[in-house]
A = this chain, B = another copy of it.
Amino acid sequence: MTGSNATAAEMEEALRADGVRITRQRAALLKVLAEADDHPDANELHRRAREIEETVSLATVYRTLSALESQGVVHRLAFEGAPARFETTDAPHHDHIIDVETGAVIEFRSEKIEALQALIAEELGYEVVRHRLELYCRKRK
């Protein structure tokens, strides 16, 4: 979103540290992820990765994204009635505004909302493991 994405090298390191091999296909996907400043879905990532390395299959894209996700390098975003979209987890936690007309995604962060969530959960005897906050919005005129 902001150009402050994790670099491909950083993600590579995270993968290697976990004993995961860096193949041509994965290198291509990491590059695509590092350069993405939108929130592409698997298909779009596949399309972009193919421009770098044509022997990338969609299955590999999904498998690699799962690996990256389980190592906390990538987040899977599941918006309403749409295929999952992905983002690197370079930036601190944030939530999303989805433009209902264009599908554009804007990131935001509110400490106040975070604090309120924790408070509400606590009052009900829970602690928040993770949360999801999505604002489906329209541009004001």
Contacts and interface: CB of A to CB of B under 8 A. Distances in A.
A3 interface: no
Copies per assembly: 2
Nearest to A78: B80
Nearest to A118: B135
Interface in A119-141: 120-122, 124-140
- Contact-size category for A: 20 to 34
A136 B140 contact: no
Contact of A113 (B78, B116, B137): B116
A100 interface: yes
A124 B126 CA distance: 32
Interface stretch (A24-32, A49-57, A58-66, A104-112): A104-112
Interface of A: 78, 80-81, 97, 99-100, 106, 108, 110, 112-113, 116-117, 120-122, 124-140
17 contacts: A78-B78, A80-B132, A97-B124, A100-B129, A108-B124, A112-B116, A113-B116, A116-B116, A120-B135, A125-B139, A127-B140, A128-B137, A130-B136, A131-B135, A131-B136, A132-B134, A133-B133
